[in-house]
Structure 1
């Protein structure tokens, strides 16, 4: 009698890195020819565990070196207290546990959370990475999600139309140190939304459908104009992580050579200890050159590969692209093309980044930034400031958004000339920029209008720098008006709402005489007048009787 294993096949779907367009891993999916094995596995923990083992072995038969994503039900882990057979299967395959992400899926409703968390702790100690699957389309409680502290959160593509929910999930992922992946991406519109939301990974039929053979190439749509990932202080290294080619530190030079010659896309190998910590880095070209030299194979083939390796260059998963460049800059020029290992909080390798990916991304960001600079002041435009506003909203941070302009600027231009007006605008911009410290951002949105984004506590010094100065153009005295809205966490949903609260404050500031500053708070009516005085009302003159004919 044939068992379900006789009719079970597996398909592979690529997990795509949205920054590099490369394949970051493969999800292994069970595809039974008859029956509903997954429904049975949901009820039978041991059957589900056998499916996970079979998935790893199926991937090994396809000789893929890519990291694997293996599905397992939450109830299975809670019932079994771990997956001992899976650990054994990974070892037998010659793979490392940290090359396998266990995508823990719903239902969670009747799963003992204590037992699940204990099982996850065991798997983490063994080196497996943990993913929370079906978020947004399942029943995972938020508290359990934070207790799991997954390395990866898989968000259902159906949530992409609900921007506040996606932003909140991205913020949570940043707090947990997790990557955000979107699954079920089928359209280019969904792809654009995933990029805008700041997701690092995605999968779906748009890139490549599940197939019996692991896909080497995937379709990645070109970035649409205006679709950029959320701005940050330098791109995160997480956006550029590629799968690492890993071998144990005990590997021989012959084993390294076999891996490199059989995988031309691999640029280097990291030799790791039993905990997954990089010990040596083997660069493809230098290694193969040594092996191909006269007597090279005879000298090195059976010797430990560490003899031909270099000290590894590593960065943490929270590093920025600029920090990677700092690491690359240290040492000899012959190592500038080496992969840089990316390590987690325990020092275990979770992938590598390539210098070419970083340089290209940083160059693109500089070009985009330069294109958005105002030609008069060389300050960024409104898009940069509003993008930063959205980031702070998503991060749950309080901020103050201010608008500043020159009073009666048309009269200044008409009376003093446009050259004097331009020089005044440049001077105001320089003063704002020099007064902006820390995380403050200054933007010139055109004409005599500026936007300033600061932390609430940084408002006073910056306001004083421009309002206490004596301004003039062509010998004529000039005053400035400043309007500020302070936004507490949760008071606005996006930069549009912040701007809507700022608009009436701007009008109120312009209604005051002299240099003025009006401050309001999002969600609260009224405002404070911190500088300036109200214009005296115009009193109607009494009517004078016309003298009658007399």
Structure 2
């Protein structure tokens, strides 16, 4: 009598990195030739656990080195209290737990959450990575999602029509230290929407359909010129992580050589200890050169490969691309092509980044950034500042947005000439750049208008720098007007609302004589005159209260 396993096949669908265009992993999908084995597995935890084991074995038969994503129902984890057979199967096929992501699938209704969280903690303790699957189109409570603290969150593509929800989920993922992926992407428009909303990974028919054989070649649409560049402080290293080729620290040189010669796409191998912590890094070219030399194979084949390796270069998962470049710059020139290992808070390897990926992305970012600079001051326009405003609102951070301009600038141009007016604008821009530090962002939005985004305690040096300076154009004294709005967490919803609060404050500042400064608070009526001819009976100090 034929067993249900005789008619069960598995398909592999690539999980694609939207930044590098590479394959970050393979999701293994059960494909029964008859019957609804998945419906049965939802009701039978033991059966679901067996499916996970069979999925790992099916991947092993294909000899893929890519990280694996294995689906398991949330109810299975809560009921079984862990997946010991899965752990044993992973070890039996020669894989490491941190190369396997357990995709926890809905439904979550009626699943004991404490039991599920305990099981997830057990899997994470064994080294498995955790993904929350079906978010946005399933029944995953947000509180449970934050308690799980997954390494990856998978959203349904239907949410791409609600970009605000995807951006909010990206913010949550950043707080949890997770990556954001979108499933079911079928069109280039959906791919562009996923990128724009902040997703780092994706999968779907657009890139590659599920297939019986694992695919490393996928189609990824080029990035649209309209997609905003990453913040100057540097895109996260998470966006560039590639799968790592791992072998135990005790591996012989012959084992390393067999892996490299059988996998031409692998640029290097990390030798890890039993906990997954990198101990040596083996570079492809240098290793094969040593082995191919005279007597090389005889000398090294049966000896530990670690002798032909180097100390690994590592960065944490929270590092930026610029920090990775710093790590690369510290070593000798001979190692500039080495992969950099990315490690989690336990020091375990979660992947590698390649220098070429970083340089390409940062170069594109610089080109896009340069295209948006004002040609007179070389400062970015309003888009850069307002994008940062929206990020701070989403993160629940207090901030102050200020609008600065030159009083009677048209008259200055008419009397002193446009060249003197241009030099004045450049001088004001330089002054703002000099006072800007840390989290302060300065933008030149055209003409004599500037925007400054800063922490609330940075307003005092900002006001002093621009209002106390003796400005002039063609020998003619000039004054400036400054309007600031303090925004407490929850007082505004986006940059448009902030701009609406700021507009009447600017008008009030322009109505005063001399250097002026008006301060208001979002959500509260009225304003405070800090500088200007109407300030004779008002407070003139610079101490700015924290927004309440």
Displacement of 1:503 after TM fit?
2.1
Structure 2: distance between partners of 1:493 and 1:200:
25
Write out per-residue CA displacement over residues 136-174 of structure 1, whole angstroms, 9 at most, x where no aligned residue: 111111121111111111122222232332222112111
5 Å-filtered alignment, 1:168-179, equals 168-179=168-179
3-state DSSP of counterpart to 2:285: helix
Displacement of 1:234 after TM fit?
0.8
Displacement of 1:229 after TM fit?
5.2
Write out per-residue CA displacement over residues 42-97 of structure 1, whole angstroms, 9 at most, x where no aligned residue: 10000000111111111111111100011101110111111011111111111110
Write out per-residue CA displacement over residues 292-313 of structure 1, whole angstroms, 9 at most, x where no aligned residue: 1111111111111111111111
Partner residue of 1:544? none
5 Å-filtered alignment, 1:128-147, equals 128-147=128-147
5 Å-filtered alignment, 1:71-86, equals 71-86=71-86
3-state DSSP of counterpart to 2:513: strand
- 1:372 and 2:372 are equivalent in the alignment: yes
Displacement of 1:509 after TM fit?
2.0
3-state DSSP of counterpart to 1:513: coil
- 1:336 and 2:336 are equivalent in the alignment: yes
Write out per-residue CA displacement over residues 216-250 of structure 1, whole angstroms, 9 at most, x where no aligned residue: 21111111122135525111111110000000111
Partner residue of 1:233? 233
Displacement of 1:315 after TM fit?
0.6
- 1:407 and 2:407 are equivalent in the alignment: yes
Question: Which shifted more, 427-436 or 42-51?
Answer: 427-436
5 Å-filtered alignment, 1:419-458, equals 419-458=419-458
Contact 2:184 2:204 in 1 (8 A): yes
Partner residue of 1:309? 309
Partner residue of 1:356? 356
Structure 1: distance between partners of 2:123 and 2:487:
42
Larger Rg: 1
Displacement of 1:3 after TM fit?
2.6
CA spacing shift, 1:345–1:426, aligned 2, 3 Å: same
Structure 2: distance between partners of 1:208 and 1:504:
53
Structure 2: distance between partners of 1:148 and 1:295:
53
Question: Which shifted more, 40-49 or 480-489?
Answer: 480-489
Contact 2:484 2:502 in 1 (8 A): yes
Displacement of 1:422 after TM fit?
1.1
5 Å-filtered alignment, 1:2-17, equals 2-17=2-17
Contact 1:230 1:391 in 2 (8 A): no
Contact 1:195 1:229 in 2 (8 A): no
Partner residue of 2:263? 263
**RMSD of aligned Cα (Å):** 1.5
Partner residue of 1:497? 497
Contact 1:72 1:103 in 2 (8 A): yes
Displacement of 1:386 after TM fit?
1.6
Structure 2: distance between partners of 1:437 and 1:288:
48
Structure 2: distance between partners of 1:492 and 1:192:
28
Structure 2: distance between partners of 1:425 and 1:508:
22
TM-score (norm 1): 0.95
Structure 1: distance between partners of 2:518 and 2:307:
69
3-state DSSP of counterpart to 1:289: helix
Partner residue of 2:191? 191
Structure 1: distance between partners of 2:232 and 2:17:
18
Contact 1:443 1:451 in 2 (8 A): yes
Contact 1:236 1:319 in 2 (8 A): yes
Structure 2: distance between partners of 1:519 and 1:351:
49
Structure 2: distance between partners of 1:500 and 1:19:
35
CA spacing shift, 1:163–1:241, aligned 2, 3 Å: same
Displacement of 1:528 after TM fit?
2.4
Partner residue of 2:461? 461
Partner residue of 1:61? 61
Structure 2: distance between partners of 1:354 and 1:431:
38
- 1:90 and 2:90 are equivalent in the alignment: yes
- 1:181 and 2:176 are equivalent in the alignment: no
Partner residue of 1:216? 216
Structure 2: distance between partners of 1:395 and 1:183:
25
Contact 1:196 1:229 in 2 (8 A): no
Partner residue of 1:40? 40
3-state DSSP of counterpart to 1:465: helix
3-state DSSP of counterpart to 2:140: coil
Displacement of 1:534 after TM fit?
5.4
Unaligned segments of structure 1, at least 5 residues: 536-550
3-state DSSP of counterpart to 2:51: helix
Question: Which shifted more, 193-202 or 413-422?
Answer: 193-202
3-state DSSP of counterpart to 1:483: strand
Structure 2: distance between partners of 1:379 and 1:519:
24
3-state DSSP of counterpart to 1:217: coil
Write out per-residue CA displacement over residues 235-282 of structure 1, whole angstroms, 9 at most, x where no aligned residue: 111111000000011111111111000000000000001100001110
Partner residue of 1:539? none
Contact 1:511 1:534 in 2 (8 A): no
